[in-house]
Chains A and B, each alone.
Chain A
Amino acid sequence: MLTNITMGQYYPVDSPIHRLDPRMKLVLTIAFIVAVFLVHTIWGYLLILGFVYLSARLARIPFKMLIKGIKPLRMILILTFLLNLFFTPGDTVLVEFWIIRITLEALRQAVFYSLRLVFLVLGTSLLTLTTSPVALSDGIELLLGPLKKIHFPAHELAMMMTIALRFIPTLLDETDKIMKAQMARGADFESGNLISRAKSMVPLLVPLFVSAFRRAGELAMAMESRCYHGGSGRTRFRVLKLKKADWLACGVVALLIGLVVLEGILL
């Protein structure tokens, strides 16, 4: 019922991309986002598309699954496209009637902005699809490590993230179970107007909150009984080390940025 949320859910297969260091993947994803913003022509987007496609192939993630991740964003995409299309000033008029005026520049901008959004989502979902939540928050903690000097709670932040991510599937399962249990008692979650639908959520949300708080309490107790006391002096089970493949990936992304910049200058 609720299992069809694909955006950013870890896809557990083994691939060179999955094995990359999470820190490197994080940095490279940020670099990729920068690259997307540097693109000026359609050729640049083709380059980016090629990069995303090849990465997905290399990560053994079905490209269809990656595309499915964009679906929840379609309203935002359409809105972005339309707003840019109608409200960007330009000179080369393509269509004009009544108060609507579409120019070549506006069309160009609408297409580019929408593509930019699409690629931002594709790039970041590539990161979360290939990196397990635990590895991801490990990476974030290590990258934010230097900020600990100014008393930034990097470890605590990462721990909270790990826990939050860890409990998403649990809570989804729980939601599914409670929903079914209430449906077994004749609850109706699908029909009715907005108000009656909101009301029908009460039998779902109350047990869900109760169980979330119960779980939180139990988890805190379990962590303390295993002597957890925050980040200072904590050693790691998995020590991350940059390997050749990581530098290779770094090189590929550097090349991508180089090409995109070059495209901006030359074309």
Chain B
Amino acid sequence: MSIEVRHLTHTYGEGSALHTVALNDVSFTIEDGEFVGIVGHTGSGKSTLVQHLNGLLKPTSGQVLVDGEDLNGEKVNRRALRQRIGLVFQYPEYQLFEETVAKDIAFGPKNQGLSAKEIDARVRHAMSSVHLDYDKYAEKSPFELSGGQMRRVAIAGVLAMEPSVLILDEPTAGLDPRGRDRILTMLEELRAREHTTVLMVSHSMEDMARLATRLLVISEGRLAADGTPREIFSRPGLMTSVGLDIPEAARLCGVLRSRGYNLPEDLYRPEELREHLLRLWKEAAKC
């Protein structure tokens, strides 16, 4: 299903002393199967943006269209829609509440009104998607788990609704490298297996370099750039001008190029850079 955002503007606390414009005339369309990275500085409006995509926030002006239908239209069943567009919030482990992991993950499917059998199947499937052993963890209290495990339980809670679009707001924030890698691997597998469209908000350009097929750069509530990671990371000065970094590999590539090494200008993945460096090294060895 496609999501189209048209001239979206959102103002918090309109007409009071505390009023702030969080989003200002943002437009883009997301097609099936994309892995969209949403990047931006803290307070740039990323979280506000993703909350519009499943109707948790209402636009001050502009529209969000899902499969051509206005999300904030009168006849739209937003509750049903939220189950098709799954949103994982920042630090989702803080929303766990049930006695056992299995019950917590079942909360979403239960609200969908599924049968007990179907719910159980969904819970098992979701737990295997996030690499949690059902027999070991299903009957544990979510509050006994480690931070990384709790986060995976929370993500499983959204996956169990089997959304066709999955939105994650900084899913790797505050995790150690291993926890981070687990989440990213899980997303890669999910996309390969179930062709879920994924939108991910992140500060980590390395994560984006690894996963995203498209990047939306948000700066001060506006869409500063929209393109493939290759286009965006190779545009000089773009990321630094909005207060963000480029991936390590792209930076190293830039430094080497400025010292006269013959490298393409649009490398941003470590593997690509390694290949080109090996090629250069072999050429040099031949002479």
Chain A residues at the B interface, C-beta cutoff of 8 Å: 3, 11-13, 174, 177-178, 180-188, 202-203, 206-207, 210-211
- B172 interface residue per 8 A CB criterion: no
B95's partner among A3, A11, A13, A178 (CB-CB below 8 A) is: A178
Give B106 Cβ to nearest chain A Cβ, in Å. Answer: 10
Listed by A's residue number, 29 A-B pairs whose Cβ atoms lie within 8 Å are A11-B17, A12-B17, A177-B89, A178-B94, A180-B56, A180-B89, A181-B87, A181-B92, A182-B95, A183-B56, A184-B56, A185-B108, A185-B111, A185-B161, A186-B79, A186-B83, A186-B108, A186-B111, A186-B112, A186-B161, A187-B111, A188-B79, A202-B97, A203-B95, A203-B97, A207-B94, A207-B95, A210-B94, A210-B97
Give A178 Cβ to nearest chain B Cβ, in Å. Answer: 5
Chain B contacts with A in 187-205, Cβ cutoff 8 A: none
**Docked CA distance A257–B128 (Å):** 73
Give A86 Cβ to nearest chain B Cβ, in Å. Answer: 40
In the complex, per-residue mask of B219-261: 1 if CB is within 8 Å of any chain A CB, else 0: 0000000000000000000000000000000000000000000
Q: Please state if A181 and B89 are interface contacts (CB–CB under 8 Å).
A: yes
Give B105 Cβ to nearest chain A Cβ, in Å. Answer: 10
Q: Please state if A184 and B82 are interface contacts (CB–CB under 8 Å).
A: yes
Residues of B within 8 A of A188 (CB): 79, 111
Q: How large is the interface on B (under 10, 10 to 19, 20 to 34, 35 or more residues)?
A: 20 to 34
Give B217 Cβ to nearest chain A Cβ, in Å. Answer: 25
Residues of B within 8 A of A177 (CB): 89
* Nearest chain A residue, comparing its CB with the CB of B158: A185
B158's partner among A12, A180, A184, A203 (CB-CB below 8 A) is: A184
Residues of B within 8 A of A211 (CB): 94
- Check A184/B89 contact, CB under 8 A, given A11-B17, A13-B17: yes
A-B CB proximity, top 5 nearest: A186-B111, A206-B97, A185-B108, A181-B95, A184-B87
**Docked CA distance A202–B18 (Å):** 32
In the complex, per-residue mask of B148-167: 1 if CB is within 8 Å of any chain A CB, else 0: 00000000011001000000
- B216 interface residue per 8 A CB criterion: no
Residues of B within 8 A of A181 (CB): 87, 89, 92, 95
Residues of A within 8 A of B158 (CB): 184-185
* Nearest chain B residue, comparing its CB with the CB of A214: B94
**Docked CA distance A210–B54 (Å):** 27
Beyond known contacts A186-B107, A186-B161, A203-B107: 20 more, CB 8 A cutoff: A3-B13, A12-B18, A13-B17, A174-B94, A178-B94, A181-B87, A181-B92, A182-B107, A183-B82, A184-B56, A184-B86, A184-B87, A185-B107, A185-B111, A185-B157, A186-B83, A186-B111, A188-B111, A207-B94, A210-B143
Residues of A within 8 A of B112 (CB): 186
- B213 interface residue per 8 A CB criterion: no
- Check A187/B97 contact, CB under 8 A, given A13-B17, A180-B89, A210-B143: no
**Docked CA distance A180–B96 (Å):** 13
Residues of A within 8 A of B2 (CB): none
